[in-house]
Every structure is written in structure tokens, then in C-alpha cells.
Structure 1
Amino acid sequence: MIRRLSPPARSGLASALLCAGVLLFFWPGVAHYDSVAQYQQVVSGAYYDWHPPAMARLWSLFHALGWTGQGPMFLLQTLLCWTGLGLLAAALARSGARVAALAVLALGLWPPLLGWQAVVVKDGQMAATLLAATGLVAWQRLRGRPLGAPGTAAVILLLGYAILVRSNAVFAVTPLAVGLLAPWRWRDWPSRILLIVAATLAVLALSPAINHGLLDAEESGVEATQPIFDIAGIAHRAGPQAVPLLRPETWHRLEAQRCHSSILWDIFSIGKRCDFLQHDLTGRPRQELFSAWTGAIIAHPGAYLSHRAAHWNATMRWFVPWHFPQAVPQAQSLPNTFGLGSPRRQVVLYDRFAGWLANSPLGAPILALAVALAVLALAQPAQSAAHGLAVPLALSATAMELSFLVVSISIDWRYHLWSMLAAGLSAILLLTEPLPRRPARIALAMLALVVLIALGARLALPQIGDDYSALIR
């Protein structure tokens, strides 16, 4: 009977079966630390902006209907994820690219991606909605048809949720949106880039009003984390006078207690060993803190660039040891009093393997960036609808990964979930058409170099460990 199905129908059926298998294997999903904090808001009805409130507000709708726990949000993100992958695979199968269709589904099963996609957290929600939007566009565009009004409305709704569910999602969503809502043509690139920049700035300006006004979330002071993280890094490198806002005794204490992490902000959070820095700056007017931050960057650009480069290397997991924290997918929910349960024990073994792959050079976000850049260099969107779809995916991954040079305070692997998916999909779409041999060989050599450097670092550098405590002690 299956043989009687058309290639697109087979891809759709395979996607549906895989989706059901994922739901059964990982049910009811994993509640991350962030998930528990957001669910507390759902239960209490008091929302704040430490985590973008869009996800908590959506979660509250299920809770109001009596569907408690993380199950509904896990179901939602899994359905969106496999709907997007299924539509893209079916569109490729319909066009005759059956190997590419299989590759799309296989990418969805790659253990690090699947392991983290089972965690009910904003990164998974963002990736799932962007996959669904991409699949809807691919289904129409790869057969040369316009998206139509209903499809356009659905894509805009998905993109809108994605842009609100993570504070830095704008860097990934705006390039993708510009390419999804209108076919990409290289000759239009100046106007497209200007549109992307304008849309990004508009979203950054409007987000506080949406979060605090429309979604009624209280301010939590989360916007101070980036300045505090960078101020500590600059002060360590440039000396006690680098940031006048810091008292000399605070600087000396920072140095004595080794509070100069370029990896994550958490050591400065309340209750951690270096929280005295935040206590010292608490109560300062926001303008004073931000002026001190920007002033320190301008006065000591070398110290700032050194701090940011060290952080970017860590979050891109390029020149790092093999066991580097925050990569292994969480297999069990954080202990909580809200009844948020955990999947069965077999997920623990699965996620250990997934973590090994995530820690390997093949799981390094720097490789995703390199793949995306290669796609941008080789794609010919004017000659191929598949290449026309590959470009916005590659642009989205590139913009997201480069944004961590400036806007990032932690190295969690899950932050790169969408970029890894987007880069992988863009490569699959690129390879549906023949490529010029010499440029393709150069791109392949560059990818091999990135992998070899990452492998050498993992073999040579001393191990740190896989758990969060290894970073904050």
C-alpha cells in the first residue's frame, strides 16, 4: 500500500510516524530550569520579563483549559517541528530530490538536535516555529506557486511568536522573514540588507513595549546582565581604573576571587560566589550603568574585544576541550513542586550519546556558521528555487551566530539549536543542484579546516566537565 503513495505522501507519512515516535519516546518532555521558572509564572499569574513572557502567556492558555504540566507545550513544539520538516521533505520529494528529502528527516533525528528539541524551553519553541514557517513556504515555493493570503498569515504568525519567544531571536528571524516572504535575489541584496537592519532595529525598539504593555510583564532587571558581564571582563583586562563606576575595593575583590569569566554571567547572579558585583551595582540608575558600560567599551576597545572574542570562542565551541559544560541535553526535569514530570529512564542513555556528539567537532556551532557561509558563497538563487530557499536559512544562521559576538552572556548549546538546523537545511537545499567544482572544493577544504582545528583543541586541551557546576565553582 505504501508503494502506491506518491513520493510527497511517503515523506509526509514518514514525518508523521517519526513525530509520533518522538512524542512517545520523550513524553511528557523535559522541564528545564527556565521551564520551571516560566511555569511558576503560569501558575501564579504574575509575569516578568527575565524570560520573554510570550511563551508563558501561551502556556497559560493550556493551563486555563485544565491541561497542566509541560505536556501541551512539548506537544506543540514537536508537532510544529515535524510539520515543518515534513512539508520541506515532501516538497523536495515532489521535485524529484528524494535523497534530499530523506536527509531533511534524518537531520531532525540527529541526536543533539532531537535531544534538545525534547526540552520544553524557549529555544525549542523558537526552532519549531521557524521550521514550521520554512516548511509552509517550501511547500509552495518549490513548485513555483505563491504562498497565498492564508499561508502568508500563518507564516507571519509563526515568525511573530518566534521573534517574541527569545530575546535575541530577532537576529535570526528578520533575515529569514525577508527571504521567506519574498523570493531572494542577489541583485536586490542592498535593499534586502537595509530592510533586515531596519526590521531588527524596529523589533528591538518595540519589544519592551510588547512585553511590558501588551503581555503585562514586570521588569526584572534582565537588561543589566549584559553590561555587568562585559564590565567585569573589561575591568579584569584593563585594570581598576577602567570602569569608574566600580569601586576600587570591588575590583580588588573581583580579582582576588577570580570573578572574570568570559564564559557566562551566572557567577554574578544573586546567590553565586561573585554576586557582590551585582549588589554593588544594584540600585544604580539604568542610564548610569549603560553609560559606564558603553564608556568602558569606547575607552578600552582592546579589553572589550578580547573579552568578547574569548566568549564567542567558548559559545561557538571551537577551540575548547571535548567535555565543555552546557552541551549534553537535559534528560530529566528539574526537581519541582508543580508536578512537572520526566520522560522514562531510557532518555538518560540517549542524551549521554547525544551529548557526546554535541561535544564533538560535528556538534560545534562554529561548524554551523562555516556551513552557512559556504552556502551563501555557493548558492545561485536566480537559477534554483531550492537555492532561493537556502539563502535565507543560511543568512538566518549566520546572523544569529555572529550576534553572539556582541549580545551573549552564556555558552549553552541550546542557544544554537535553530542555527544548527537552519545551516543543515540550507546545505541540503544547496546540494539539490550541481555546484561549480573549484568553489565547492575550496568550501569543503575550509569546512575540513574548521573541524580539524576543533578536533585538535578537544584532544589537546584539559577537560573541564559536562555539568553546570564546573563553570561556576
Structure 2
Amino acid sequence: MQRRPVGTRRKALSAVIVAVLLAGVTLAFFWPGVASYDSVVQYQQVLRGQYDDWHPPAMARLWAIFHGLGWRGQAPLFVVQVLLYWSGLALFAGALARRRQSIAALVVLLLGIWPPVLGWQIAVLKDGQMAGAILAAVGLASWWRLDDRRLPLWAAALVLVLLGYATLVRFNAAFATVPLAFGLLGGWRWDRPRFQLVLVIAATGAVIAVLAPINQRLLQAAPSGVERSLPLFDLAGIAHHAGPQAVPQVPAKLWRRAEAKGCLTPILWDPLGDDKACGYIVDTLQRAAPGARLRNVWIETIATHPIAYARHRIAHWNSEMRLWMPATMPGTGPLARSEPNTLGLGSPDKRVNGFQKLGYTLASSAAGAPILWFAAAFGVLFCSWPARDGAGGVAVTLALSAILTELAFGVVGVASDYRYHVWGMLAAGLALLAASGTRPSPNRVLVAVLGVAAVAAVVIIARWVLPPALPPL
């Protein structure tokens, strides 16, 4: 086996050391992390020792272990997700540096401190746990896969554990983790790419199907009815586009009242779940279609009004991806303070305010639009498929993970919070950097660049001409 030059090993070690220093700076600067409303609710479950599946019980169970050891507050999970985050970036950057891609390795580290991403990563949420675990898995696997080498058994097992945890902390994480498991552990079979893509989609559906039994039986979380939010959101959207008669289970006057109050919004479903806003819609539907009947009503309504459903889902995906949307949208800026609480969940020092404000500014800009990163992932896939070497395989795998993650919001998304896109944006960026070590066709590169530029132009024009979005009730 040919030994690597000493210079490349030093570059790889330098990249890892810089990432370790950045991890230390992140922990010190943002300590003890931000506890959002969801964090507070989940910590209450930890204190009571009673869990439900509205928030991921796998994350709460991990939190409870630290709590039982005497490490209170949000700090332990903040440490976990920051260390996972930077360890993944360290290994990915080190692997690129070892391949003599020093500039790409540097950009990996710059991507790690990109304020819209890092600003959300310091919030103790399922999104941060998911992104950290996936990044650690990707970095570990890429240490070998970028050089087209198979992982040692212990590394493959650890990658599976990390991807498994990421899958458990977000119900839609399977759209990201399943293609990663295929691509990073087994490698894509380029002689049958269509078959393997179908296999990935089928496996993703199977994984999602077993999440509820795992949460409720294995992790002993009480059912919360979280699965009803998607049907409720879709029924409201259909009623908005097709008229109140499309969902006769709710009287037309109630739909009209909700419409007048602005509760039927494509941005998120929350007003429908708020008793003070439009909770009467949920109450009425629960009486008219209790339990599993709601699912039947949902499917029948979609089948009866497919155009209205499609318009609703497209409007929501546009809102999620911030394509033809104004710059100012709710749920964009990373949090600087924890939700007020009496549980001992503190906040970082006020010094973080400037960084988080910069994160909001950049996230609201065209460069921060998730659709632009999504377009970049498509460009990488277009230029690199089918891959012929390890770097190309990693690039394709990451691009597919980003694309499937973001496309899934068009079907299962119910809110437009920016934090949902942290992994998709990271995956697109890392895919582009991995692809920089390959030699794609210049014609394909030109087409990809023009496509991304066209998307950027649409986003810029939208930011220029559209008024700020009003926050939902």
C-alpha cells in the first residue's frame, strides 16, 4: 500500500486541529446553549420521567441519562450536538486536505461557522441533534469513502448508530439518513442506478413506518396525536383553495371565520392548533372524524380535490424553501435567548446577540434561501451522476440526501421554520466541496451554474418586490 506524503498528513491534521479549536470557541461563546419553547417542554418531560411522542423520546431519554448523572439544564445536549457537529466537519475537512484539496477543506470549516447554520445549531432542539449526528456520521464515513476505501467494521457500526439516532429525533430524517446509509456504507451500484434509487425510496418509507412503534413501545412514549397535524394542515389548505364545501365535516361558517382571521396560511399549521386562534377547527374535526377516521377523511378529500391539494402543497413548499417569498418571514432568525422558564434553563451571554442578528440577516438574504442550496445540490447531482470514484460517490450521496430531504417538505411539511433546512444546506455545501475533487463535464457544469443563477435571480427579485410576510396568528 502506497504511503501518503508527510505533507498531506500534516494538512489533514491541521484541518482537524482548527476544527477542534472552533468547537471549543463555539462551546465557550454560546454556553450553555439556547433552550427554545420545545426544549422547555421536553425538559419538563425529563423532570417528570413521563414522555410523549410529540417531541422525540430518543432525545429526551438521552437527556434523562445526563440529568440522572447530575448534569442539569440544557448544557449536556448542547455539548453533544456541538461536538458531533464539529467532529463531522473536522473529519470531512481533514479527508479533503489529505487529498490535497486544501481550499475545499478551508471552505468546509467556513461553512461550519456560517451564521444561519451555526446560529441554529446552538439551539438545543431535535434539528440540532439530527444535524450533529448526521454530520458526525458523514465525516467519519468520508474519512475512508473520499478515497474510495471501505470503512472498517467498527466505523461502519458507529455510522449506523449515529444515523439511527438522527432518524429517531426527527420523523422526516429518514429522507436524509437512508440515502446516506446506502451511499456511505455500501456504495451505489452505478450499473443499476434507477433500481437503487427506487430501493432507497422504498426503504425510507419502511423506516418511517416503524418510527411510531419504536417511540411508543420501545421508548415508552405516550401517543400525543402528533400524526394528526399533517392531515389537519392539508384539510385546511384544501378548504382554502377549493372552498369550505371541500371539507364538509367542518361547517362553512367556521372555515370562513378561520379564513378571515388568517388561520389558513401556507406558512405553518400552528394557528389551527392554537385554542385562542382557530382551535375550534381542530375540535370540530376531532368530533366529526375521531381517531383513524381523520386519516380516511384526509385521503378521500385529497382524492376528491387533487388540484386544490397540489396548490396547497406547492404554496407550502414555496414558503418552506423561500423561493418566491419576501425577505422577512417568521421563524427565520436563530434564537439568542432561551424561552422564559423556571426550570433552570439559562441563556447565553448577550455577546451572542450580534452573531445571531447577522445570522438572521444572512438567512433572510438570497444567499440564505434554502431553495438556492437545493438548486446547488441538483447541480452537483447533474454533474456527478453516475460517480466513478470515491469523491464522486460521496458528492452524489450528499446531494441525494439534500434533495430528498427538501423535496419531502413538499409532501409532509407543516411549518416553514428555517431550522428545518440546516442539514439540507450543509449536505448541499459538502456535496459541492466533495465534487470539487472530481472532473465533471464542462458542459454539465455550465448548465448547472446557469440553473443555480436562474434560481438566484428569482429569489433576488422576490426579495425586492414582495412586502414582508405577516406573522401568523
Coarse TM-score class (shorter-chain normalised): over 0.9
Q: Give the structure 1 partner of residue 281 of structure 2.
A: 277
What is the CA-CA distance between 1:382 and the residue it aligns to? 4.0
CA contact 1:266–1:272 (8 Å) conserved in 2:
no
Q: Give the structure 2 partner of residue 471 of structure 1.
A: 471
CA contact 1:270–1:278 (8 Å) conserved in 2:
no
CA contact 1:185–1:388 (8 Å) conserved in 2:
no
Query: Which of 66, 69, 74 lines up with 2:78 in the alignment?
Result: 74
What is the CA-CA distance between 1:471 and the residue it aligns to? 2.0
CA contact 1:136–1:151 (8 Å) conserved in 2:
yes
What is the CA-CA distance between 1:87 and the residue it aligns to? 0.6
Q: Give the structure 2 partner of residue 136 of structure 1.
A: 140
Q: Give the structure 2 partner of residue 467 of structure 1.
A: none
Q: Give the structure 2 partner of residue 151 of structure 1.
A: 155
Query: Which of 379, 387, 396 lines up with 1:391 in the alignment?
Result: 396
Q: How does 1:421-436 map to 2 (within 5 A)?
A: 421-436=426-441
Instruction: Tell me if 1:30 matches 2:34.
Output: yes
1:367-421: per-residue Cα shift (whole Å, max 9, x none)? 1110111111001554331111011110000001101111011000000010000
1:18-47: per-residue Cα shift (whole Å, max 9, x none)? 110111111111111111111111111110
What is the CA-CA distance between 1:95 and the residue it aligns to? 1.3
Q: Give the structure 1 partner of residue 13 of structure 2.
A: 9
The SS at the match of 1:158 is: helix
Q: Give the structure 2 partner of residue 356 of structure 1.
A: 361
Query: Which of 197, 205, 210 lines up with 1:206 in the alignment?
Result: 210
Instruction: Tell me if 1:243 matches 2:228.
Output: no
Q: Counterparts of 1:98 and 1:81 in 2: how far apart (Å)?
A: 20
1:209-231: per-residue Cα shift (whole Å, max 9, x none)? 10000010011111111111111
Q: Give the structure 1 partner of residue 348 of structure 2.
A: 343
Q: Counterparts of 1:110 and 1:71 in 2: how far apart (Å)?
A: 22
Query: Which of 174, 180, 190 lines up with 1:176 in the alignment?
Result: 180
Q: Give the structure 1 partner of residue 265 of structure 2.
A: 261
Question: Pairwise CA RMSD of aligned residues?
Answer: 1.6
TM (normalized to structure 2)? 0.96
User: How many percent of aligned residue pairs carry the same amino acid?
Assistant: 48
Q: Counterparts of 2:255 and 2:9 in 1: how far apart (Å)?
A: 69
Query: Which of 18, 24, 31 lines up with 2:22 in the alignment?
Result: 18
5+ long unaligned stretches in structure 2: 1-6
- Using the TM superposition, name which of 199-208 and 107-116 deviates more: 199-208
Q: Give the structure 2 partner of residue 329 of structure 1.
A: 334
Pair 1:383–1:240, CA change in 2 (3 A)? closer
CA contact 2:262–2:472 (8 Å) conserved in 1:
no
Q: Counterparts of 2:130 and 2:262 in 1: how far apart (Å)?
A: 35
Query: Which of 156, 160, 165 lines up with 2:164 in the alignment?
Result: 160
Instruction: Tell me if 1:319 matches 2:327.
Output: no
Q: Give the structure 1 partner of residue 416 of structure 2.
A: 411
* Equivalent residues, number: 467
Q: Give the structure 2 partner of residue 43 of structure 1.
A: 47
Instruction: Tell me if 1:96 matches 2:100.
Output: yes
Q: Counterparts of 1:454 and 1:382 in 2: how far apart (Å)?
A: 30
Q: Counterparts of 2:164 and 2:311 in 1: how far apart (Å)?
A: 35
Amino acid in the other structure paired with 1:350: F
CA contact 1:225–1:265 (8 Å) conserved in 2:
yes
CA contact 2:395–2:430 (8 Å) conserved in 1:
yes
CA contact 2:52–2:224 (8 Å) conserved in 1:
yes
Q: Counterparts of 2:310 and 2:226 in 1: how far apart (Å)?
A: 23
1:24-79: per-residue Cα shift (whole Å, max 9, x none)? 11111111111111111111111001112111111110001000011110101111
Q: Give the structure 1 partner of residue 4 of structure 2.
A: none
Amino acid in the other structure paired with 1:73: L
Query: Which of 351, 371, 389 lines up with 1:366 in the alignment?
Result: 371
Pair 1:182–1:42, CA change in 2 (3 A)? same
- Using the TM superposition, name which of 239-248 and 219-228 deviates more: 239-248
The SS at the match of 1:472 is: coil
- Using the TM superposition, name which of 87-96 and 237-246 deviates more: 237-246
Pair 1:369–1:151, CA change in 2 (3 A)? same
Instruction: Tell me if 1:298 matches 2:303.
Output: yes
What is the CA-CA distance between 1:4 and the residue it aligns to? 11
Q: Counterparts of 2:437 and 2:385 in 1: how far apart (Å)?
A: 12
Instruction: Tell me if 1:227 matches 2:222.
Output: no
The SS at the match of 2:412 is: coil
Q: Give the structure 1 partner of residue 222 of structure 2.
A: 218
Instruction: Tell me if 1:458 matches 2:463.
Output: yes
What is the CA-CA distance between 1:459 and the residue it aligns to? 0.9
Q: Counterparts of 2:164 and 2:51 in 1: how far apart (Å)?
A: 20
Q: Counterparts of 1:49 and 1:111 in 2: how far apart (Å)?
A: 31
CA contact 2:56–2:170 (8 Å) conserved in 1:
yes
CA contact 2:402–2:424 (8 Å) conserved in 1:
yes
CA contact 2:254–2:281 (8 Å) conserved in 1:
yes
TM (normalized to structure 1)? 0.96
CA contact 1:184–1:389 (8 Å) conserved in 2:
no
What is the CA-CA distance between 1:123 and the residue it aligns to? 0.5
CA contact 1:130–1:158 (8 Å) conserved in 2:
yes
The SS at the match of 1:254 is: helix
Q: Give the structure 2 partner of residue 116 of structure 1.
A: 120
CA contact 1:176–1:396 (8 Å) conserved in 2:
yes
